[in-house]
Structure 1
Amino acid sequence: MAESHGASIELENLTKRYPGSAQPAVDSVNMEIGAGETVIFVGPSGCGKSTTLKMINRLIEPTGGRIRIGGEDVTDIDAVKLRRKVGYAIQSAGLFPHMTVAQNIALVPKMLGWPKARIRARVEELLDLVGLDPGEFHGRYPRALSGGQQQRVGVARALAADPPVLLMDEPFGAVDPITRDHLQDELIRLQRELHKTIVFVTHDFDEAIKLGDRIAVLRERSHIAQFDTPEAILTNPADDFVSGFVGAGAALKRLNLTRVRDVEMGDYPTVTLDTPLQEIFNRLRGSGTNEILLLDKRGRPYKWLRRGDLMRARGSLARAGTLVHDTVTRDATLRDALEAVLTDNAGRVAVTGRRGEFIGVVDMETLMNSVHELLEADRLEAMEHQHELQEARADRTHAEQEGEEGEQKA
């Protein structure tokens, strides 16, 4: 694994009181976040999770307590300088509408006095990193971008000066579910490459499970109900409050912990627009499948072609087949893949790489086997837990009996 480029964060008795309020908005939060770790704050509306996040870069000034980043106490240093060292991404991207994409991304490096050539190279590097073609998006204005594209630019801007810490306040909350899934996958991929320390606020527990190395489930005033790995919270919630967040179907939620890259992908016959029809027939006949995947010029999934489609093609693939509407990336969760498969009657989904290129196919059988394995693991764990409870009860009964016998002898 590459060396971490993040920085540790320590919150010590971090508190925020607003004038006129009987109770603090945030009350003595203590937390240690490791360098390169992704930590998710999740909790009910008004519990103080966004306030806690904003105190880390002092967009909201703490009333009490300390903040250390990389061991340095940042509570008393210049707040503006601190914010230039901490990336910040919010819901709806928060881009400046009168600035181009490139100007938005270049904002902090420009403030830091970077040379123009370095800024230009950094903007191109970041656009490529978040999956946007620099040549196509460099000069566009935010109004000409989709919601998902705006969020990508927002993440690029937050990363522009290469900060060790990235704060994200419900950054994907305003986009549609499909775009949100893709943005989450993109963040997972970016984190595997960059190893930043990410603190991420969400109200969506499924998003927390998917993204977090650890999750802090927060009560009112940001009191920590449980701070643990997604696996531990799903299998051993600390109390009824945490159980309420986990909700029903913990085994299915655990599908958010397994990535498509962790399961076996099927090798699938593919052809391109330049492949002669006869060769397509031959490949289909020799593949043992009833369909073949047509790729576009960039190697991306384009159409599913069945034998009947080819019979009707009459020498041209232009009108043949069914367009590929949904794909998943290698970083998508098995839950994402299951949803994609269920929306397609053919029972499979194409898996793509960083630039959308075709990698393989995941089918319903593979996904169902994974679900059964998770359910079986949950069943065995529940049996083991029940056995431990029975043993503890038996030991307690035995001790009570021995105590009673001792009293009778006395």
Structure 2
Amino acid sequence: MPEPSGTTAATGAGIRLENLTKRYAGSPGPAVENVSMEIKAGELVVFVGPSGCGKSTTLKMINRLIEPTAGRIRIGDEDVTGIDPVRLRRKVGYAIQSSGLFPHMTVAQNIALVPKMAGWPRPRIRDRVAEMLDLVGLEPGEFHGRYPRQLSGGQQQRVGVARALAADPPVLLMDEPFGAVDPITRDHLQDELIRLQHELHKTIVFVTHDFDEAIKLGDRIAVLRERSHIAQFDTPEAILTNPADDFVSGFVGAGAALKRLNLTRVRDVGVVDFPTAGVDDPLQSIFDLLRSGTTNEVLLLDRHRRPYKWLRRGDLSRAKGSLARAGTLVHDTVTRDATLRDALEAVLTDNAGRVAVTGRRGEYTGVVDMETLMNNVHELLEADRLEAVEHQHQLQEQRALLTRQEQEGGYAAGPDGTDGPAGVTA
């Protein structure tokens, strides 16, 4: 991404929480109790847990929107527990549910807010606003002067993320930012966040109550109990395959193997090229392509090279010199950052068993089909089966070893009455 003049983009900074505690007056116990955690620079960590467990409170203590009662917060090499909280918040981006945009300000004014408070010169702010809009996939010329009420929910959330990133902070805090939008928009916003993180490498702490969202987004997930006690802090793969206890298993739920579809991206599987034509191509050339015998279908692209219609040979008879009524409109597409689960859902809603894959601005980049997706699903299920067999084999070996030791007299009652190695005393 282009940099503002005279600056270098800030990558992520490590975060360390040390015995972080929050008590509210009149409450019998702390809302958050002795939370210690280290988050690596450039890592996206997701807090997930039941309502009221303290995950949002813990997040807000990182930028001191909520002041901790006890404990330390370190960002990079700096203990930020005692510095001016306003200065702290200028170096920590913050995005919330429903975007939190100021309704009386334009999109540009909202994004420019923190750079303006930081004293950036006007030309640099102007360039940064345009850069941020472009980064989140909104055309600067079209959205610069709009007000939040003139935006869809998804567009508002994109502007909220742009505002949080405008001053180029190393840390971004996100408190259920996609919880108020519809499921389709939510999937697209999640994909956008994944793409942004690949480009920017910020340190992101993300709060959600949706475990599937946590699996899709997180480099690591912190499953939190009451008072933000950490039940398990690990990679999505480790939590899915080896939950620490019954509490964590409850979050994983049924179908752990299928949930792993959220761990693989479309970019990691075989995206194939597909015959395409443009809406401005001569009709005869499209006819010739379909009649050539090499393909039964063509993907028609609009003037911006975005998927527009699927055209089959049988549609030619209805064209009558125009493609206006011919073919089937493209309803679903996925990006290269979408998960296999997203792609599978899109393919299953399409009778032809394929979905177009698009780039950052919706431009066509390829197609992924049912055969490719099902092969990957079978590989995941087979890997799970082999892992379960290996685990069972290890348990059998352990039981056989214990049996041999007991038969050889290697084990006897220990000094406390429990089984223990013979001859061992306290």
**TM-score, with structure 1 as normaliser:** 0.97
Provide the secondary structure at the position in 2 that maps to 1:403.
coil
1:321 partner amino acid = G
Partner of 1:180: 186
- Match in the other structure for 1:387: 393
Partner in structure 1 of residue 36 of structure 2: 30
- Map 1:110-259; keep pairs closer than 5 Å: 110-259=116-265
Q: Deviations over 1:298-331 (max 9, x none)?
A: 1000111111212111010112111111100000
Displacement after TM superposition at 1:279 (Å): 1.4
| Alignment partners' CA distance in 1, 2:291 and 2:38 | 59
Alignment length, in residue pairs?
407
**Is residue 348–residue 362 contact of structure 1 (8 Å, CA) maintained in 2?**
yes
- Within-5 A mapping of 1:8-407: 8-286=14-292, 288-403=294-409
Q: Offset of 1:71 from its aligned partner? A: 1.7
Structure 2 distance, partners of 1:405, 1:57, is 55
Q: Secondary structure at the match of 2:408?
A: helix
Change (3 A) 1:404 1:101: closer
Does structure 2 conserve the Cα–Cα contact (< 8 Å) formed by 1:4 and 1:35? no
CA change 1:405–1:338 in 2 (3 A) is: closer
Equivalents in 2 of 1:296, 1:258: separation in Å? 29
Cα distance in structure 2, aligned partners of 1:45 and 1:218: 10
C-alpha separation in 1, matches of 2:236 and 2:109: 38
Q: Output the CA distance in 2 between the equivalents of 1:68 and 1:247.
A: 34
Counterpart code for 1:200 = F
- The Cα shift of 1:289 comes to 3.2
Query: Which amino acid letter does the alignment assign opposite residue 241 of structure 1?
Result: F
Distance 1:18 1:268, change over 3 A: same
1:398 Cα offset (Å) = 1.4
Compared CA separation, residues 276 and 155, structure 1 to 2 (3 A) = same
Instruction: For residue 146 of structure 1, report the CA deviation from its aligned partner.
Output: 0.3
Contact 2:9–2:168 (Cα < 8 Å) also in 1 = no
Over the aligned positions, Cα root-mean-square deviation in angstroms equals 1.6
Q: Tell me how far apart the structure 2 counterparts of residues 287 and 150 of structure 1 sit (CA, whole Å).
A: 47
TM-score, normalised with respect to structure 2: 0.93
* Cα distance in 2 between the residues matched to 1:156 and 1:185: 15
Q: Following TM superposition, by how much is the alpha carbon of 1:285 offset from its aligned partner in structure 2, in angstroms?
A: 3.1
- C-alpha distance in 2, partners of 1:287/1:202? 50
Q: Distance in 2 between matches of 1:60 and 1:259?
A: 36
| d(CA) in 2 for partners of 1:286, 1:41 | 54
Matched position secondary structure for 1:311? helix
How many angstroms does 1:179 deviate by? 0.4
Deviation string 1:177-225 (CA, Å, 9 cap, x unpaired) is 1100000000000000000000000001110011000000000100000
Q: Provide structure 2 residue ranges, at least 5 long, that are not aligned to the other structure.
A: 1-7, 414-422
Taking structure 1 as reference, are residues 404 and 160 closer, same or farther at Cα in structure 2, changes over 3 Å only?
A: closer
Shift in alpha-carbon separation, 1:103–1:109, aligned structure 2, 3 A:
same
Q: Which whole-Å CA distance do the structure 2 matches of 1:361 and 1:289 have between them?
A: 14
Whole-angstrom distance in 1 between the partners of 2:371 and 2:356: 14
Deviation at 1:333, TM superposition (A): 0.3
Shift of 1:286: 3.4
Q: For the Cα contact (< 8 Å) 1:53–1:199, is it kept in 2?
A: yes
Q: Tell me how far apart the structure 2 counterparts of residues 69 and 348 of structure 1 sit (CA, whole Å).
A: 45
